[in-house]
Amino acid sequence: MSKVKSIFACTNCGATSPKWVGKCPACGKWNTFVEELVTKPTAQEEKQRSWKGPQSGSHQARAVPLNDVQTGNTQRITTPDKELNRVMGGGIVPGSIILMGGQPGIGKSTLLLQLALQINAITLYVSGEESEEQIKMRADRLGGSRSNCLVLTETNTDKILTVAQQTGPQLIVIDSIQTLSSPHIESTPGSVSQVRECAGEMQRFAKETNIPIFLIGHITKEGSIAGPKLLEHIVDTVLQFEGDQHYSIASCAPSKTALAQPMKWASTRCSRAGCARCLTPASYCCRKKTKTSAAAPWRPLWKACDPC
């Protein structure tokens, strides 16, 4: 039987403590520690896990001289979205894990579903928020579906990784990381322990199978990605999808650029038909002046680097 123990975790940074403390010793925030139950599987249950990585068991870790490591053989996965390719430094790196955060309804799920439908690769789209019928309706609105896009509605990480190992996709999209739950953690989905454990399992799967994974993340009212700060440290790249509620223009800029292009941002125009590349975002924000309209002052409120 699994061993259950109680720990206290900080909701701001994810630091843990065996007992409750008022001030987090890691981030310095007050009254952020909450109690969570963690289930540790026994040796027999670990052997019966539904998914086991190819490096488990007989694999032995060994150190390799840095000069013996060969580079230049990695081929990035090119997407049909030229703006996303430019932000990602030329495409998606195999085995990378990318976190995309943004406001509710900004177009994160639409952008990645459109990517799954248009990319020339087998894609597994995992949704913990929508049913298969809802995803199909949105796919039809975006221009139809393709046979190489697989849909899975599941929140259990063991079942998701088992299906991913059986189908062998070239790209995985998780919508969203806050809805996933690991059977080894006795806490609700979206908690600090669940987000940390689920992100760690996805990272291990991506590195061992060399399959890139997109994670959609919710944001808080302050604008930061919900969950522990450790989540942003686990992933390779963090993309912030931001926009204004009065306009259909949104920007996608990396806030963590381990495998992305620094100081670059993509401009996207979102509509009912999906997300499209926008080379002149100012033309959609500025209304055309008529003969009867009075002069109006303009002031830049959004500062970014040149996308060209």
| Single-letter residue type at 21 | V
More confidently predicted of 24 and 267: 24
Indicate if 18 and 151 belong to the same structural domain.
Answer: no
Span 213-235, mean pLDDT? 79
Q: Total structural domains in the chain?
A: 2
CATH number where 255 lies: 3.40.50.300
pLDDT of residue 281: 59
pLDDT of residue 169: 95
Indicate if 28 and 169 belong to the same structural domain.
Answer: no
Residue 302 and residue 162: Cα distance in Å, rounded?
44
Indicate if 102 and 245 belong to the same structural domain.
Answer: yes
Give the domain extent around 11: 1-44
**Residue 20 DSSP symbol:** -
For 181-201, write each residue's pLDDT tens digit: 988 887 888 888 888 889 999
90 pLDDT tier (thresholds 50, 70, 90): confident
Q: Sheet containing 3-10: which strands, arranged edge to edge? A: 16-17, 3-10, 33-40, 185-186
More confidently predicted of 176 and 257: 176
pLDDT of residue 134: 93
Indicate if 259 and 114 belong to the same structural domain.
Answer: yes
Indicate if 127 and 24 belong to the same structural domain.
Answer: no
Indicate if 131 and 204 belong to the same structural domain.
Answer: yes
**Pairing, β 149-153 against β 123-127:** parallel
pTM of the entire structure?
0.78
Residue 213 and residue 122: Cα distance in Å, rounded?
13
Average pLDDT of the chain to the nearest whole number: 79
Indicate if 265 and 221 belong to the same structural domain.
Answer: yes
